[in-house]
Structure 1
Amino acid sequence: MRLSTRIGLAVGLTVPLLVLASGWLLLRLVDHDLHRAEDQHLRTRATAMVPEARSLLRASLNGRPKVADTRERLLFSAALDVGVRMIGPDATFSGGPQPDASVPLPEIATGPVTVRAAGESWRALARPISTPRGSGTLWVFSPNAADQAQLRLVRHRVAVTTLLAVPLSGLLAWGVATGATGPLRRLGRRTAGLDPRTSAARLADQPSGVTEVDELAATLRTVLTRYDEQAARTAEALDTARSFSSAAAHELRTPLMSMGTNLDILAAHPDLPEPDRTEVLADLRTEHARLLNLLVMLRELGRGDLVEEEAFRTVDVTETADASVADARRRAPDARIDLAAEPGATVHGWEPGLRLLLDNLLANALAHGRDAAGRATVTVGVRRTGDEVVVTVDDQGPGVPAEARARIFERFQRGPASSGSGLGLTLVAQQTALHGGSVTVEDGPSGVGARFVVRLPSTGGPLPAHRDWLIDTVGTNRSQSFPKDAP
């Protein structure tokens, strides 16, 4: 059922009810006004007849019939258009319209009362009459026939008005509602052809002049925008999943083939000499550890590509760095790892991602930042500079050549002697980009080793529009998701 039809039916039912309620109130008011006018007339006539009624009662009690007859005619003449009944101790005089003598009269009241008999009704007013020889009661009657006729006329007109109000109000409301819902129908026609699955066309911003319709159109545009955003995120998630599968298949092939070869050697030569067997088992452990590390790193890259804005909150980088350094000290008890951090260095960020960033910087320093004697000395610094937090990681290793500093953050870039996955610094670059920051590599502060510098804005910013760190086309897509001043 159309909205205009619903409105027409609702009004067509509501208006007659209102008319009936108003008619009932009108009938009550008319009845009250008629009774009040009639009662006032009775009081006026009763006041005019009291002297004649008293004279009639005296003449009747004194035994003067001729005088009584005269006084009775004068009483009836004063009654004019009302009925009168004079009830004395030993006689009753009545004339004009009134109930039958057999109809019992009510007790004397201060005001007019209603007397009903044989389907008729009268308004009656009683006045006590007193004389030295006795007392009586003067009753004045006025029939309600005229009042009832007027009430029936009003009731009839209310009924006719109600019957007319049903179709007229319904049609009028339907017509008004049809015109009022015109902008809504036009909006429906504009949105009928929109299919976000097959077309990129969207609802244009065309004000209709009706606030509710414009708000509905704005809501539809918001819904379509969110649909597009979710569709884009779903497509990115599918690309990430495909890239994860492709990267995993490509990178796991070598360690799996190596492990297969070593297993074939062990199976084919059960009597392999102990030194050779030990070497093969050591190879297997190394490849197994590399395989696990690679899977973990790929999983973390996928998490970074799919993290949402809702996961970001205020993070104390100092506390995160302290936890990361403590964990690194447990993993490498022979290394010296110092932390110089200012308290209260907070950013708006994703805590697991920041922890991942620090863990990988420390792991890189411990793996590649050892001096010629094999000692690892790492210094981690956290400080606030203006509206950003700066994290530095210094080591005492051979450093990073200037020509290699632009490539070490690329995926699967490993040094000649590295046994890692080649994804640790890629994760550092990814997390830095997610937090709207930058990462650079410099010479160590004393000219020895390397210094990694990560700059993170305190307030954060919107997430990159494209996060594709698992996609093969690294060189093409890094410019979309990595800051310009980062390598």
Structure 2
Amino acid sequence: MRLSTRIAIAVGLTTPLLVLAAGWLLVRLVADDLQTREDARLRERAAVAAPDARRLLRATAADRPAAVEQARERQMLTSGLDVGLRLVGPDGTVSSAGPQPGADAPLPVQAAPVPRTVRAGGENWRVLSTPIKGGRAGADGTLWVFSPDAASRAQIALVRARVRRVALLAAPVSGLLAWAVATRVSRPLRLLQRRTSGLDPRCSATRLDHTPTGIAEVDDLARTLRTVLSRYDEQAARTAEALATARSFSAAASHELRTPLMSMQTNLEILTAHPELAADDRGQVLHDLRHEHARLLGLIVMLRELGRGDLIEAEAFGPVDLVDVLEASAADLRRRHPRARIEVTGVPGLYVRGWEPGLRIVLDNLLTNALVHGGGREGESGGSVEVALRVERVGESGGAVAVLTVDDRGPGVPDRLRDKIFERFHRRPDSPGSGLGLTLVAQQVALHGGRIRVLDRPDGPGARFEVRVPAQVDGVPDAATEVTLPPHRDWLIATAERSRVSGAEVPGPGVPGPGASVPHDFHKDGS
């Protein structure tokens, strides 16, 4: 059923009810007005006839001549005009005339100055009683004034009949008028429906083009439809990115895993074909197998984490204490490399709004990278890593930036490689890593609205990795704060140059953007 038809039916049913309700109220008001007017007339007639009634009672009590009594009676009845009068003395009715109920009609027991309704002989009478004080013994009585209620009842019945006729007529007339008005008013809604019916977001990029109509409901509906379509586009884009990430994961895994798998196969064939192999040679083959297995496992883990970063949503972000994450990462590194020297200094209570597993990935990979370059590989004497976490105020608004620096005492990163070490699978020939460690770092820094750059260690040979992300030092960030993620997260899909540019386009609040004094470069050192 169309909206205009629904409105017409609703109005057509509601209007007669409203008319009847208004008519009932009108009948009550008319009845009250008529009764009030009739009561006023009865009081007026009683006030005029009361003096003549008093004189008549006195004449009757004094046994005046009949002519005198008749004269007094005529004067009283003449003052009554169009109402009925009945004068009752101590010995019964003294005089009565005019329209009034029969003598057997039940009248009020006590006289009262307020008119009342009495029913007698199938008719209603309005009755007013007035006590008469004659001033002598046997001269007291009661004056009754009567008025038939038929005229008032007739007028009320006439009003009721007219209300019913108006209600019956109002149903179709109001329904037709409501249908015409609703049809006219709902025209913008029908136009909006026709515009949206031709939209198919699956096969066309055309979206709703709505001109404001001035009708709040229609314009709100158009805005809602636009929002729904934009969310559909976002979800479709995220779905496409997820599918592309899955395909890229499969392609990268098949490409990068081929070499370690082939090497492992060769070593296994050697062990199988030469059971008499010398102990030293067998140990070398097993060492190679363990090395390739570790590399294979690390590569799979790195690819998985890179895919998670590309698919993470804003709902996963929340308040994170950077110092807690840093201390946990450093403690884990000390357990794995007990001979390494790891110095950590930080500012307590430094919070960021982020994804805690992603921040842990940043710290783990930066610390491992620094330890590898600082001489901390297995079998060597150890390495030295210095980690510092401080806060800087940025701009007049008082925004805060957490600055993390990781220093090693290795050979450093040459300038010509600082634009490449964040590319996927870029690593030194002798690197034990997968070539994805710093790619993960760059990805997570970009997701957290920050920046990273590679510098020389300020107090000697070595490299410094500096990470800057928006932070809060005046309490825990509000959990309801909206997180804005990069529009395109394609670190597992894109080429190295595309990944670098993608990261450079999403600086965090209060952090200088691309082209500012602090460059936004993503690099990788081969961890």
Common fold by TM > 0.5 = yes
Distance 1:133 1:382 in 2: 119
Cα RMSD of the aligned pairs, angstroms, is 2.8
Distance 1:427 1:451 in 2: 17
Bigger mean CA deviation after superposition, 267-276 or 196-205: 267-276
The residue type paired with residue 111 of structure 1 is: V
Q: Give the aligned partner of residue 399 of structure 1.
A: 412
Q: Give the aligned partner of residue 13 of structure 1.
A: 13
Shift of the 159–300 alpha-carbon distance from structure 1 to 2, 3 Å rule, reads: same
Q: How does 1:21-420 map to 2 (within 5 A)?
A: 21-63=21-63, 64-92=65-93, 93-107=95-109, 108-131=111-134, 132-134=136-138, 135-269=140-274, 272-343=277-348, 346-370=351-375, 374-387=381-394, 388-420=401-433
Distance 2:177 2:233 in 1: 43
Distance 2:121 2:327 in 1: 106
Q: How does 1:403-482 map to 2 (within 5 A)?
A: 403-458=416-471, 462-471=484-493, 473-482=495-504
1:59, 1:65 within 8 Å by CA — same for their partners in 2? Answer: no
- In the TM superposition, residue 374 of structure 1 has moved relative to its aligned partner by 4.7
The residue type paired with residue 403 of structure 2 is: V
- In the TM superposition, residue 324 of structure 1 has moved relative to its aligned partner by 2.0
- In the TM superposition, residue 305 of structure 1 has moved relative to its aligned partner by 0.9
Distance 1:451 1:117 in 2: 115
1:88, 1:137 within 8 Å by CA — same for their partners in 2? Answer: yes
Number of residue-to-residue matches in the alignment: 487
The residue type paired with residue 335 of structure 1 is: A
Bigger mean CA deviation after superposition, 312-321 or 234-243: 312-321
Q: Residues 13-43 of structure 1, C-alpha deviation per residue, up to 9 Å, x if partnerless?
A: 3332222222222222221221222122222
Shift of the 402–51 alpha-carbon distance from structure 1 to 2, 3 Å rule, reads: closer
Q: Secondary structure at the match of 1:127?
A: strand
- In the TM superposition, residue 423 of structure 1 has moved relative to its aligned partner by 0.9
- In the TM superposition, residue 121 of structure 1 has moved relative to its aligned partner by 1.1
1:371, 1:398 within 8 Å by CA — same for their partners in 2? Answer: no
Higher helix share: 1
Q: Give the aligned partner of residue 521 of structure 2.
A: 486
- In the TM superposition, residue 398 of structure 1 has moved relative to its aligned partner by 3.1
Shift of the 390–102 alpha-carbon distance from structure 1 to 2, 3 Å rule, reads: closer
Unaligned runs of 5+ in 2: 395-400, 473-481, 506-513, 515-519, 523-527
Q: Residues 397-424 of structure 1, C-alpha deviation per residue, up to 9 Å, x if partnerless?
A: 2333443333222111222222321111
The residue type paired with residue 249 of structure 2 is: F
Q: Percent identity?
A: 61
Q: Secondary structure at the match of 1:139?
A: strand
Distance 2:44 2:484 in 1: 92
Shift of the 346–68 alpha-carbon distance from structure 1 to 2, 3 Å rule, reads: closer
The residue type paired with residue 381 of structure 1 is: A
Distance 1:445 1:113 in 2: 111
Q: Residues 291-320 of structure 1, C-alpha deviation per residue, up to 9 Å, x if partnerless?
A: 221111111111111122343345444443
Bigger mean CA deviation after superposition, 199-208 or 335-344: 335-344
Shift of the 39–439 alpha-carbon distance from structure 1 to 2, 3 Å rule, reads: closer
Unaligned runs of 5+ in 1: none
Distance 1:400 1:246 in 2: 30
Distance 1:381 1:339 in 2: 6
Distance 2:80 2:464 in 1: 125
The residue type paired with residue 25 of structure 2 is: L
2:412, 2:456 within 8 Å by CA — same for their partners in 1? Answer: yes
Distance 1:455 1:65 in 2: 127
The residue type paired with residue 103 of structure 2 is: A
